[in-house]
Structure 1
Amino acid sequence: MEESKISVQGRGAIHVVPDVTRLEVTIEQWFPDYGKAFAQAKENSSWMVKILEYNKKPGSLAKTVKFNIEDFTENEYDDDDHYIGKKKNGFMLEQGIKIDLPIDNYLVNCIVRGVGKFIPSAQINIGYTLQDERPSQLKMLARAVSDARDKAKIMAEAGGCILGKVISIDYHHQNIHVMSHARNIHSNTEAKASTPGSLDITPDDLVISDTVDVTFQLINQ
């Protein structure tokens, strides 16, 4: 006789206080030739290290997360304004740099102003995250399994059964990146005008959540 069982999806969620300010610096800039684009990218990285070291932080905090130089194309039209194709017109640099810092508005403001002053065409996203997500993720998973058991027990009792042992736990691991976005700085002018007061942001708690599928044995009363 086939064993009776019940499968339930449990959800776990916890709220945690962020302990890291993450700056994501994005540069998109057009250049007439590849060499100039590459040289500017190297200069951007060099300035980022200098800005950090000037503010008594190691330059190694600047992590390149994107680097791409590709042909820039434009639509081409004939004299009658009919589209005839695309034509190449120089190169587009796309560069992304990630910096994790302590939650310190004065320090963040100094970095933002430095980027605005020395790195052209820079946009900055300011957000908050965790230095180590693992303890919170493990706690969240424990809550997810407990949630599955609570749901299964209620359904088993409603069906006149007793909840038995766990038969299987299925967790489709996801790369959960816990991040809350606080502010976007869209131009060098805006970055240079930044003040500690304008970055006086109190970050919201972060929410970590995920699901597990748990199968239990059902015992007929």
Structure 2
Amino acid sequence: MKKSRNIAILTAAVISGAALTACGAQGGTSQIQAGGNGVLQVQNVENQVISVSSSESVKVVPDMAEIVYGVYTQAADAKSCQDENGKSVDQVVETLKGLGIEESSIQTSGYDMNPIYDWNNGQTITGYEMNTMVTVSDIPLENVGDLLSGSVSAGINSVRSVTYLSSKYDESYQEALKKAVESAKVKAQAMAEAGGCTLGQIVAMEEFGGNSQARYTGYYSAKNSAAADESASGAMAVMPGELEIEAQISVDFAVSK
């Protein structure tokens, strides 16, 4: 009976001394907990961390652009609509080449043909319409206004979008990543101090996919860009502003008491 009592006292003493936490462990490497069935469990607490997320951005002035034109046609039947659209696209391509754009920078990027319905007469098909997107890339920013004016003067009557890009995207993104890491350190330090911990080294870091739509990686010819300047009758006003390049990360820092 006395032996059983001593075992009970020893078990209680072990459990009462097992209230270790991430920032409360006094140089120990294990945490002891009592399981629901009364069995003691030893858990490793060497890898206790503070996890923080951070996002920072860098602004950069764009230096390149991409223009998307639309070529729209209507006809009584599908084949005629397609043929007319193809002729119009060829005319647009020749116009752009005449303005100094290299053929390698011109891409037919989308096709869409649909029937035209007369809903007042039992959903009768009265014709067809087709729209083709023509994307022009590798445009130096200083030539965008001239190209827009020249293409409109030459008869292109649908500009779907103008997208501004930066050839310095990679450098700017790396700068944003560095700023995000520094910001994460500041956050983690504040959390460690508030929790009575000492902040240690980074033990894990994860980068989340950034928005790289503004990234320009192509090549353009200075000779052809000069030709675009000479071909245009007058430049349209272009105000590209600045691009915001953002980096998002999560970081785990080791902590100790």
> Would you say same fold, with TM above 0.5?
yes
Residue 177 of structure 1, aligned match among 198, 201, 213? 213
* Identical amino acids, percent of aligned pairs: 21
Structure 2 partner of 1:207: 244
The answer to whether the 8 Å contact 1:48/1:59 transfers is: no
Is the radius of gyration larger for structure 1 or structure 2? 2
User: Which amino acid in the other structure matches residue 114 of structure 2?
Assistant: E
| Displacement of 1:206 | 0.9
Residue 135 of structure 2, aligned match among 98, 110, 125? 98
Structure 1 partner of 2:204: 168
Query: Which structure carries more helix by proportion?
Result: 2
**Deviation >4 Å, runs of 4+:** none
Structure 2 partner of 1:66: 110
Instruction: Decide whether aligned partners of structure 1 residues 117 and 32 sit closer, same or farther in structure 2, where only a CA change above 3 A counts.
Output: farther
Alignment of 1:136-151 (within 5 A): 136-151=172-187
Instruction: Decide whether aligned partners of structure 1 residues 27 and 10 sit closer, same or farther in structure 2, where only a CA change above 3 A counts.
Output: same
| Displacement of 1:74 | 4.3
Looking at structure 2, the residues matched to 174 and 40 of structure 1 have their Cα atoms a distance apart, in angstroms, of 41
Alignment of 1:2-17 (within 5 A): 2=45, 3-17=47-61
Greater displacement, 38-47 / 14-23: 38-47
Greater displacement, 43-52 / 203-212: 43-52
Residue 125 of structure 1: SS of its match in structure 2?
strand
Cα root mean square deviation, aligned: 2.7
| Displacement of 1:37 | 2.4
Looking at structure 2, the residues matched to 59 and 115 of structure 1 have their Cα atoms a distance apart, in angstroms, of 19
Residue 165 of structure 2, aligned match among 121, 129, 143? 129
Looking at structure 1, the residues matched to 136 and 164 of structure 2 have their Cα atoms a distance apart, in angstroms, of 11
Query: Which structure carries more strand by proportion?
Result: 1
Instruction: Decide whether aligned partners of structure 1 residues 131 and 71 sit closer, same or farther in structure 2, where only a CA change above 3 A counts.
Output: farther
Q: Which has the higher contact order (CA 8 A, sep 6+)?
A: 1
Residue 234 of structure 2, aligned match among 179, 184, 196? 196
Structure 1 partner of 2:77: 33
Residue 6 of structure 1: SS of its match in structure 2?
strand
Instruction: Decide whether aligned partners of structure 1 residues 155 and 169 sit closer, same or farther in structure 2, where only a CA change above 3 A counts.
Output: same
5+ residue gaps, structure 2: 1-30, 32-44, 216-231
| Displacement of 1:25 | 1.2
The answer to whether the 8 Å contact 1:22/1:128 transfers is: yes
Residue 204 of structure 1: SS of its match in structure 2?
coil
* Count of paired positions: 196
Aligned pair 1:20/2:64, yes or no? yes
